[in-house]
Structure formats: structure tokens, C-alpha cells
Structure 1
Amino acid sequence: MRLAVGTLTVVPSGDVTPVTRARAGWAMALAPVAALPVGLVVGAVAVAGHLFIAPALVTGTLAVGAAALATRAMHLDGLADTVDGLGAGWDRERALAVMRTGDVGPMGVTALVVVLLAQAVSVGALSTSVGGCLLAGLAVVLGRAACAGASVRGLPAARPDGLGALVASSVPPAVVAGWVVGAALLLALVGDLPGGPGPLAGPAGVLLGVLAVGWLLRRVLRVVGGVTGDTMGAAVEVATTVLLVALATGATS
């Protein structure tokens, strides 16, 4: 848990040594639990915007910005690098080289703009009720289950070094399935509270999120042959965005 918190958030957790493959796998499996502080920050900003009757888009923008600060924007960085790498062509070595650099190209910038805008608008739409604010925080927390999904057994690492090599194929499929089922049930229960989008929006978002992350991982495997740390960040942002959009759509329909 300390490794998961220290890796995925800005919350100090102390040094964890040695970082073994088993510990790294458990850290990915516990990613949603470690992300609870991030979800609380997003929910608190959304509630503040609701209480002070701030414009919905302003509330959503501040909440998404707070989430980026609480995670060092590491998942957004992974999203940009992954999209740039996938857009660099079908040459594996070139794609990996692009993903390794710290530069952000036009495709990465476009992905960041689309994802951040979709998240901000969705959180803003959910912030019209306290129940919606709770769902926004939950979506941010549960979207981190994509860390486990991108580390599930059977997915190889794209290169022999880095976070991807440490956690690739380290999480049992049963853990991933547990998070998927648990997320669907929890969002269905919370979504059915007064002011929520109903019991179906959450499970629908989970299903769409699984499909979106699965498509992303399939593309990454085809292009670079395995997962990297950037891949996991991209998976988190994709899953979180799909969840938020589904919940917001249900809340406004």
C-alpha cells in the first residue's frame, strides 16, 4: 500500500525497499485504494463548486486540475507519450523511442485537450448535486483499476527496464475481474441515490471503460509488443474519462 500511494499520488509514504516484483504487483492491484486521497480532492472541489454556485465548467476544470496536482500529472504524461508513440508509425523501435522522450507532439497535445475537456465538462455536469460530486470522486478512484488491468498476467513488457517491466503480467486476472464487478456494483448503488444518474449509468460506464482500455492495450501490443509505464497512465486516463462521461450523460439525460 505504501508503494502504491507513493507511486500514484503526491502523498508521502516513505521509502519502500526492496521494490520486488511481488510488491509492485500488489501496488498495482491496490491502485484504486491508494487513489482515495485523489478522489477525495476531486469530490471536495466539486462540492465546493456546488455550494458556491460556481459555473459548472469552472468547477470541473478546477477539480481536474486538482487531480493532476495530486498525482504529479503522471497519468496525463503517460497518455501523451503513449498517443505520440502510437502515432509515430508501426516501427516498434521508433514508437518506443518517442514514448521514452519527454517531449509532447501534436497528437499527444490533442489527446490531452480532448481528455481534459471531457473530464472537466463531465465533472461540472455531475457537480450540480452532492450525489453527483460523490460519483465524480468515485470515478477518479475506480478509474485507477486500469493499473491492474494493464498489469494483468499474460501482458508482456515492451522493454526490459522501467515500471512496465517491473509490473507487467504481475496481477492475477481474478483481481482485475473483482475490481470490474465491484466498480459496477458500487456505482450502481451510489448512482441510484437522490440526484444521481440512476443505477445503469455506472455499470454502463464500467463496461465501456473495459472495452476502451482493452482496445488501447491491443493497439499498444500490436505496435510495441508489450506494456510500459506510459501505457498504464494512458489506461487510467481513458478509463476515468469514459466513466465520467457515462455518469454525466446519465445525470443530464
Structure 2
Amino acid sequence: MIKAIVTGHSKGLGAALAADLLERGAQVLGIARASGQSAEGPSAGLTELSLDLADSAALAFWLAGDTLRDWLADAATVLLINNAGTVQPVGPLAVQDPAEVGRAVAVNVAAPLMLAAAVVQAMPAGAACRIVHVSSGAGRNAYPGWSVYCATKAALDLHASAAAQDDNANLRIVSLAPGVIDTDMQGQIRATPIAHFPLRQRFDALKQSGELAAPPRVARQLLDFMLSKDFGRDPVADLRQLKAVRK
């Protein structure tokens, strides 16, 4: 049985990932501040945890209990997709709210790293574990106004690179840049004053030209890759540069 944990499952790419996983017959644990349930009611196979991933103490408290271990007890394959993230704060250091910086580090870095360690420790003996950190090209290139976002995504890349060297034959981990997706985050970027993010016009143009990828298509490609033989060969990857995956 495949059991998958998806953070930020209530909207955007996370919602598309959860829906695709359910269609594939996986059991899904969604972690987000808000529910991802549709108007039709609860989705069979979906368990939801309402938790603000910016609250590291609350996440640590939940992970210290038995809930995660119990939920994973009958899994043959465990998938963890660290999808939740925030682009805020945007702007030069002179305008960044220090509290918002702390929140970004908690959501973008602390939560994925905490969940990765907890899942590996909680999964059944002999189960296969595959972890995706949803990273960004911003973790591999510096952009003005995105010092926090770039730094936190770069942290995920290096974490995956180091964890991939662990002596664990059952673990595969990849920090994966999925490309530019038509989500609420893109709306936030387009609403940012150019003085805070000089490259905003580039993202305006992507929206106007219809070049933003649809979440369901990206979710399908990401999961095809995650379940393929090629997954984990390179711990840092870009979904747009991958050749057709081999299942």
C-alpha cells in the first residue's frame, strides 16, 4: 500500500497532488492550515491534519506522538511531498519584517526537515521511502528581493544532497524545482511592488502569455517521476529538464 503525506494540500499544486494520488489508489495525509475537502464532502482515502507549519513547536508536539507511526504502520511505500511554502517576505533587507523572515524559514525549511526525519523514523521496517522537497529555480539563482525565498529553497537542495548520502537503501530523496505554476503564489508575486521585486514584469508576462503551467499537469509529471526508476538518481533536479520517466 502507498501512503503519501502532502503538505499544503488544500490548494494549488498541493491540492492537485493530493487528488492525483487518490486517483492512483494511495492513502493521503494532507497537512495544511485549512481543509482541502471539496463541496461534495470528504474524499475517500484522505486524512487531514489542520496545522500551521510556521508553528514549529506545534509540529514538534504532533510528531512526538504516535499518530504518524500508527498511520504509516501498514505502508509498503511511503511518499512525503514537502510542498507547502511561502514566497514572503519579498523586498530588500530594509523592508523585511523579521517576524515574517522567521515564519518563512519555519515553513520553507524547518517543517520539511522535521517531517523528513520523522517519516524515516516512523515508517515500518523494510518499507520504501521517497521524499520530494518542492524547491525552485530561485534556490539555484539569486534574485533581487527574494533573498529569503532563495536562501530557504537552497537549503532544501543541500539537505536532499546530504540526506541522499545517508546509509539507507530504502530512502530516495530529491529536491525538485517544478517550474512556474499558475497558483496563488504567482498572484502574490504579480501584486508585489516593482520596487520590492524588480523582476516582477517577467512574471506578469508569463501570466499574460499563458506560459504558467496548470497544477494538475505538474502534479501528474511530478508523481510519475517520483514513482519512476529514475527517482533519486540526482538529489537535485528540475522537472522541466527531465526526459520521459521510466516506470
TM-score, normalised relative to structure 2: 0.29
Q: Pick 1 or 2: higher relative contact order, CA cutoff 8 A, min separation 6.
A: 1
Considering fraction of residues, name the structure with more helix: 1
Considering fraction of residues, name the structure with more strand: 2
TM-score, normalised relative to structure 1: 0.28
